[in-house]
Amino acid sequence: MDLHIKGKKALVMASSKGLGKAVAFELAREGVNVLICSRTEKDLQVAQAEIIEQTGGKVHYAVGDVTTSEGRTSILNKAKEVFGSTDILVTNAGGPPAGSFEDHSLEQWEAAYKLLLESTVAMIQGVLPGMKDQKWGRIITITSQAIKQPVNGLILSNSVRASLLGLVKTLSNELGQYNITVNNVLPGYTETERLIQLRGDASNWDAFTNDVPLGRVAQPEEFAAAVTFLASQRAAYITGVSLPVDGGWIKGI
């Protein structure tokens, strides 16, 4: 299927590794120009070189912490410099610390809000005027399967990420008139560095795969394929959805 997005310009947040990097890869394979970002320049340089080598695409990078206004400004300035206006925004960030209710101070709740919600809202604010002017845009948030079925011991993630459900649906209602779609993609257990660290020394994936009907964790490119489709012209009539890519892990209907 030709996704009809060749030549579009995409800003993918938190993308030197893991899910964000896989999304940047997949978009570049479709001929999309990508801007990747994270806090660590050497990882960005490695990711940029890999994506260019394997896709022949145009890849830029910006160093910045998405939890700070300075970091976001420098990423958005780079996007203006290399793209003019951004067609596709994929929001993403690291995950908040694990723990139960009594493990976390109010400061940790505030940090989780900054990481997951404030970073998303601020980056959308940054690219929205250009998308409205051109009457075309794709906004895709990366959240987690935990927003539909809370994971024990991840109270910060379960709680703060759930606010993205309301944001995405409301924004999709407001922005449809500008031909901007807004969707949310919920990764299940996906084999990134983060999950490999969470797995610890265990020699198998049982703790993650026991409740997954497909019986395995996802590969990052399987997640990225769903994001890339939603970013495409072929998904022009899909907006306001929260799509799990979880191998069937969420039990609700």
Ligand X SMILES: NC(=O)c1ccc[n+]([C@@H]2O[C@H](COP(=O)([O-])OP(=O)(O)OC[C@H]3O[C@@H](n4cnc5c(N)ncnc54)[C@H](OP(=O)(O)O)[C@@H]3O)[C@@H](O)[C@H]2O)c1
| Residue 157, burial from CB neighbour count under 10 angstroms (0-12, 13-18, 19+) | buried
Residue 3 vs 146, nearer CB to ligand X: 146
For residues 93 and 175, which CB has a smaller minimum distance to ligand X in the complex? Answer: 93
Among 58, 194, 199, 234, binds ligand X (CB under 6 A): 194
> Smaller CB distance to ligand X: residue 180 or 244?
244
Other C-beta atoms lying within 10 Å of the C-beta of residue 101: 8
247 touching ligand X, by CB under 6 A:
no
How many chain residues interact with ligand X (CB under 6 A)? 27
CB-CB contact of 17 with 43 (8 Å): yes
Site for ligand X in 24-83 (CB under 6 A): 38-40, 43, 65-67
- State which of residues 11, 14, 35, 62 lies at the interface with ligand X (CB under 6 A): 14
Binding window for ligand X (CB under 6 A); candidates: 81-89, 121-129, 168-176, 183-191: 183-191
Phi, psi for residue 179 in degrees, rounded to 5: 60, 35
- Binding residues among 89-148 for ligand X as defined by CB under 6 A: 92-95, 142, 144
User: Positive or negative, the Cα torsion across 116, 219, 222, 136?
Assistant: positive
* 113: number of Cβ within 10 Å: 17
Count the Cβ atoms, other than its own, within 10 Å of residue 41: 12
Asked if residue 199 binds ligand X (CB under 6 A), the reply is no
